[in-house]
Structure 1
Amino acid sequence: MNMDYIAFCKNYYAATRIPIDLLKGNTPVYTTIGSMLSMPSYRTHEIDTSGLNLPCLNNYNPDIEYGMIEVKGTDLLIILGPNFGIHPTNELINEYMRELFIPPQERESIAEFLNTIPQISTVQFVRHLILIHQCINQETVDLSHFFGEGFSEETEKSTGEILRPEYEKEDEKHSTYVYELDLYERVRKGNVEDLKRHLNQVPLNLNANTLATTSLRQAKNLFIKTITNVVMIGAIPGGVSVDLAYALLDSYVQEAEKLSSVREIEMLCYNMLLEFCQLAGKNKIPKGLSADVFNAMNYIRSHTDSPISVEDVAKAIGRSPSFITKRFRKELGITPGAFISRCKLEEAKSLLLFSKKNLAEISSHLCYSSQAYFQNVFKKKYGMTPLQYRNTKRRIE
């Protein structure tokens, strides 16, 4: 492929503000610092790529991440980074300068440059590596290439975002808080498939002020903050016993403290959310429920934004509509249609509380035939209109 790689690096940095270097062997061909600061490359140690499964992450220390991408068919190597994950502290700036053998007299310029780098999670950083690799080498890789089989596409959204430090403007904090409460509410409801889909689709930015001076310590502190809120606001109100919830909290915190990388903590956070959600869900399933009805209920809960019918549910679990209807009546005392309506109304309540969607948007999202019909069904169920519910029950101004 005939490409001007130096031009690519320049354009990439201009678009993202993430530093990117191009090496031929171990000789810099282009460096962002050199281009932006008219500074020579002080990197003198050799980069050994033998045995590495490129593209890959490369951490010279736990708090400074780099990405490496080979340009296939050439002896060129692209280095992406550094990525700190948090606002660069004096300690991180000093460590970065030591790593690249940058003399002290350059510190002011380096500090100013590093402060322009966006703070993104490890998962987001890997997404940039995946994009560059695809552009340069015409090949696609997924997250499991970097994190192992335990970290799939389904885990990508929000694990990193949950732990990402966010230095927000005042007018963004309200939305961030709404996202937090929405996450805890989904844990409380106990629908694991819905939570997975939510983590896949919605980039959550939990409110995270500066809690540490390194990205690893920051991630651990944010994990502790998150799991504490999950237990107090989501799991226990969702029916998980207090003793079990706090025992798991202690266990997870101890495990997090033993981890040595941000991405391990991100994976732990994802698994923690699903476990508490699953435990809350168990308390909502009547004893003696058959596998068919259980699977049907999960399917319905996960498709409130679709115009599903009893036929759709039956097809999804490999049963007939009449069979499902009989089992629902026998085991739950209601029809599948009534359960579909109940789940849609519960989702409507969450959207009224935790989103800025208007009634028309909520009605459309939940696939009601009209806004008027949605309002009538809601009022019949809860004794108040959707707007009355939002105005009287909403937890946030």
Structure 2
Amino acid sequence: MITDITDFCQQFYASTFIPILYFQWPSEIQWSCPSVLKKMGTRNAILESKIKFSTNPDYFITDSYSYFGFVNINNSPSKMDFIVIGPIFSTPVSEDTIQGFLRECCLTGESAEEMKHILINTPCITFNQFLHMLSFIHLCINGEKIEVSEHFQTRIDNSIQNNISRQYSMEMYNKREYLDFHNTYEFEQAFMDCITHGDVPRLEASFKKQIAENPIKTGILSSNILQHTRNLFIVSATLATRAAIAGGLDTEQAYQLSDLYIHECERTQDIDAFNTLNYTMMADFTTRVGNRKIPIEGLSKEVFQCIQYISQRPNEPIQIDDVAAFVGKSRSYITKHFKKELGFDMSSFIMRCKLEEAKSLLTYTDKSLSEISNYLCFSSQAYFQNVFKKKYGITPNEFRKQPKKQEC
């Protein structure tokens, strides 16, 4: 069990960069790291009103969705000494989030700037990681091991389940009575199949058919129409991401693309703009899958893993032996099956991924040919230019000067 609380807090911060305080309720903060937290008097606005004494450890979430966790030090003389961690966010903080938190803390001027620096530089962790971090601190300080799911009641809540079941029964009763059912499933399947097969013309035809023949009936995801539309977009992005991955798009590329479109969705304040953004996103996913031109039917697990491994590493000098080691098969076995299932050899696919990434960098960045060549691990700029021209019939510079297209 830890006896030197200050030393523990210093070591904890040095290893995690999570803000940590030694708080003696209801007096001032005794110690903090970063040290500027102490002089800010954060406890006046947040800690003092939020700390409860029924559970140890415990946490609270502020209106700006920051996490604070606290552990009561059982053997402290006053029994009112706490270790507090936070503020912590699960996603990178936006300017709006920062300003909201500063208002909660009643911070202005120099203190606000110092807190803003802390928020920007504090690592993001998931809520589950946050709870386990509290459990770890409690074990170190109080020598007591807790079961996170039981202690924080993260298991199934029967009261919530029963309430949802009652609402569900009434909703289904009304929908059957008035024949008011969702009709989105068939449309979803059609759109997702277009994305998975990279079929842009069929995607366009499906959209036109949906608009002309049978408008989609969705459920109500929010009483606020803007938030309802935003929620629908996020559902659409999730489905499109899964369909693109099934079609052979690299998982990291697919999730990154999804994140970017969802961020754009968060900035959108016009209902009509959501429809344009939704179609643009689905067409983008479909085009990217189509550009891969990889036959997805009948792919073995090993070959699919090879595709993902290679696609994620265009900037690494990977060789066939690296891919074989990753999937746990011999070089001869994996090269034979790769060629048999896809119709082209692995070396050409490795080069293809590098050249596709080069096209993207040439189109959407101002990086020099030397930077691109080095980034993609070509042996020289001259070699990069030669293989690029051999593949596409024009030099990298000639490609860059062409009008931009909506593809990668």
Q: TM-score, normalised by structure 2?
A: 0.49
SS of residue paired to 2:69: strand
The one-letter code of the counterpart of 1:305 is N
Matched, 1:59 2:61: yes
Matched, 1:298 2:308: yes
2: distance between equivalents of 1:372 and 1:332? 30
SS of residue paired to 1:87: helix
SS of residue paired to 2:286: coil
Q: C-alpha deviations, 1:294-328, integer Å up to 9, x for none? A: 33222221222222223332333233333333334
Could you say which residue in structure 2 is the equivalent of 1:268?
none
User: Of the candidates 283, 299, 305, which is equivalent to residue 289 of structure 1?
Assistant: 299
> Retained in 2: the 8 A contact 1:190–1:281?
no
SS of residue paired to 2:378: coil
2: distance between equivalents of 1:195 and 1:364? 21
Q: 1:138 to 1:356 in 2, by over 3 A?
A: farther
1: distance between equivalents of 2:98 and 2:267? 17
2: distance between equivalents of 1:229 and 1:121? 35
Matched, 1:24 2:82: no
User: Of the candidates 329, 339, 342, which is equivalent to residue 352 of structure 2?
Assistant: 342
| Long gaps (5+) in structure 2 | 141-147, 156-240
Q: C-alpha deviations, 1:168-189, integer Å up to 9, x for none? A: xxxxxxxxxxxxxxxx9xx799
The one-letter code of the counterpart of 2:23 is L
Q: 1:377 to 1:24 in 2, by over 3 A?
A: same
Q: TM-score, normalised by structure 1?
A: 0.50
2: distance between equivalents of 1:41 and 1:137? 25
Q: 1:343 to 1:79 in 2, by over 3 A?
A: closer
2: distance between equivalents of 1:38 and 1:335? 61
SS of residue paired to 1:27: coil
Q: 1:284 to 1:120 in 2, by over 3 A?
A: farther
SS of residue paired to 2:28: strand
1: distance between equivalents of 2:49 and 2:29? 16
The one-letter code of the counterpart of 2:86 is L
> Retained in 2: the 8 A contact 1:360–1:371?
yes
Q: 1:390 to 1:225 in 2, by over 3 A?
A: farther
| Long gaps (5+) in structure 1 | 98-106, 150-183, 212-218, 241-276
> Retained in 1: the 8 A contact 2:20–2:85?
yes
2: distance between equivalents of 1:335 and 1:38? 61
Shift of 1:376: 0.6
2: distance between equivalents of 1:382 and 1:82? 49
**Which gives a bigger RCO, structure 1 or 2 (Cα 8 Å, sep 6+)?**
1
Could you say which residue in structure 1 is the equivalent of 2:249?
191
Could you say which residue in structure 2 is the equivalent of 1:311?
321
Shift of 1:4: 5.1
Count of residues paired in the alignment: 285
2: distance between equivalents of 1:376 and 1:44? 67
Could you say which residue in structure 1 is the equivalent of 2:143?
none
> Retained in 1: the 8 A contact 2:314–2:376?
yes
2: distance between equivalents of 1:38 and 1:60? 13
Could you say which residue in structure 1 is the equivalent of 2:399?
389
1: distance between equivalents of 2:303 and 2:335? 10
> Retained in 2: the 8 A contact 1:21–1:79?
yes
Q: 1:227 to 1:335 in 2, by over 3 A?
A: farther
Q: 1:346 to 1:225 in 2, by over 3 A?
A: farther
2: distance between equivalents of 1:41 and 1:290? 58
Q: C-alpha deviations, 1:135-189, integer Å up to 9, x for none? A: x9998xxxx999x99xxxxxxxxxxxxxxxxxxxxxxxxxxxxxxxxxx9xx799
Could you say which residue in structure 2 is the equivalent of 1:77?
83
The one-letter code of the counterpart of 2:324 is A
2: distance between equivalents of 1:340 and 1:360? 20
Could you say which residue in structure 1 is the equivalent of 2:124?
124
> Retained in 1: the 8 A contact 2:23–2:84?
yes
Could you say which residue in structure 2 is the equivalent of 1:354?
364
Q: 1:38 to 1:389 in 2, by over 3 A?
A: closer
Could you say which residue in structure 2 is the equivalent of 1:249?
none
1: distance between equivalents of 2:42 and 2:299? 69
1: distance between equivalents of 2:261 and 2:404? 19
User: Which stretch shifts more, 28-37 or 310-319?
Assistant: 28-37
User: Which stretch shifts more, 386-395 or 27-36?
Assistant: 27-36
The one-letter code of the counterpart of 2:55 is G
Shift of 1:378: 0.6
Matched, 1:87 2:96: yes
- Say which one has the larger Rg: 2
Q: 1:60 to 1:392 in 2, by over 3 A?
A: same
Shift of 1:59: 1.4
SS of residue paired to 2:60: strand
Shift of 1:356: 4.4
The one-letter code of the counterpart of 1:194 is E
Shift of 1:374: 0.9
Identity %: 27
Query: Could you say what the CA RMSD is over the residues aligned between the two structures, in angstroms?
Result: 5.7
> Retained in 1: the 8 A contact 2:72–2:82?
yes
SS of residue paired to 2:84: strand
The one-letter code of the counterpart of 1:77 is I
2: distance between equivalents of 1:42 and 1:125? 21
1: distance between equivalents of 2:361 and 2:53? 49
> Retained in 1: the 8 A contact 2:57–2:138?
no
The one-letter code of the counterpart of 1:87 is D
